[in-house]
Amino acid sequence: MTEYNGAGTTSSPVVLTPEVQQAVWSWGVGPAALAELARSCDIEILGPPPLP
């Protein structure tokens, strides 16, 4: 589930790739809820996410 970017340019230990975002959305978690969760947990979201 956890993705790391190869460049190592992020200070956040957890990175959500577009593919992971789409998987999370399929569980019923919307983009806004995911963004809020990411902010509260210091998760970096790599975007833009793919269209459903």
Whole-angstrom distance, CA of residue 16 vs CA of residue 1: 9
Q: How confident is the model at residue 12 (pLDDT cuts 50, 70, 90)?
A: low
Mean pLDDT throughout 10-14?
60
Per the CB < 8 A criterion, the answer to whether 21 and 34 are in contact is: yes
Per the CB < 8 A criterion, the answer to whether 12 and 42 are in contact is: yes
Domain boundaries along the sequence of the chain: 14-45
The pLDDT value given to residue 29: 83
Rounded (to 5) percent helix, strand, coil in the chain = 40, 15, 50
Residue 51 has pLDDT above 70, yes or no: no
Mean pLDDT throughout 15-26?
83
Find the range with the poorest average confidence among 10-14, 36-40, 43-47: 10-14
